[in-house]
Amino acid sequence: MIKALIFDFDGLILDTESPEFQAWQEVFGAHGHALSLDLWADLVGRPRTYFDMYSYFKELNGPLTDLDALRKDRRARVVQLVLEQPILPGVLNYLTEAKEIGLKLGLASSSGGDYVRAHLKRLHLVEYFDVTKCFEDTESHKPEPGPYLAALEDLGVAPRQAMAFEDSPNGVAAARAAGIFCVAVPNPITQCLALTHANYCLKSLADESLRQLLSRAAAADRDG
């Protein structure tokens, strides 16, 4: 029986992936370079420490690149774009329905805790979560299972008693490595990526109610 749900944040609760990619595309394009979706897709779901995009851009653009000015301008652009994003469809319904059913709620993210929790507070979602595990809370990060294992421990549930929601291949890999039934819900950036290693895939959380999904997971568990 499912006793807890564990959500990713970026690209799953809030589409921060598209603004990040758009802002970098604007930077690369303004200097006559191209940023491929293939490169970006490999970074989705990983911590920011995995790949230094600023150093990569400087290698392409030359040693005179002012990285301090670039960071300031790009960050401001990302903030502007993210603040325009609504909570993704179906998310609030799932959180509300989970509380009605009596499920525990966790969050496992590769992003920093201050960033994630600030957005959750701004969106009035922070009170829904019993546990939040972010970059600084674990030693290993997605696609390793560390964030999910830490969330499971604090929630006090076994892997088979949890369901994870992810938008990226790296996130799905982390949840599955932790032994958790994983539902992939791609965003505009990750919809072209292979998410077939998830147990189930939805185009949007608005496409199916939580109760329907729990019934599907229970049937899959019975079938072995």
Q: For 12-66, how does the pLDDT look when each residue is reduced to its tens digit (9 = 90+)? A: 999 998 999 999 999 999 999 999 888 888 888 888 889 999 999 999 999 999 9
Q: Mutual orientation of helices 169-177 and 146-155 as an angle, nearest 10°?
A: 50
Tell me, yes or no, if 10 is annotated catalytic. yes
Please tell me whether residues 65 and 163 are part of one structural domain. Answer: no
Please tell me whether residues 119 and 194 are part of one structural domain. Answer: yes
Please tell me whether residues 47 and 69 are part of one structural domain. Answer: yes
Please tell me whether residues 136 and 157 are part of one structural domain. Answer: yes
Q: Measured between alpha carbons, how far is 145 from 142 in angstroms, rounded to an integer? A: 6
Please tell me whether residues 97 and 78 are part of one structural domain. Answer: no
CATH number for the domain spanning 118: value is 3.40.50.1000
DSSP H stretches of helix in 44-145 = 53-61, 67-83, 91-101, 113-122
Q: Could you read off the pLDDT of 155-207 as tens digits, one per residue?
A: 999 999 999 999 999 999 999 999 999 999 999 889 888 899 999 999 999 99
Please tell me whether residues 215 and 153 are part of one structural domain. Answer: yes
Tell me, yes or no, if 8 is annotated catalytic. yes
User: What domain range is 44 assigned to?
Assistant: 17-83
- pTM of the shown model: 0.88
Per-residue model confidence (pLDDT) at position 38: 85
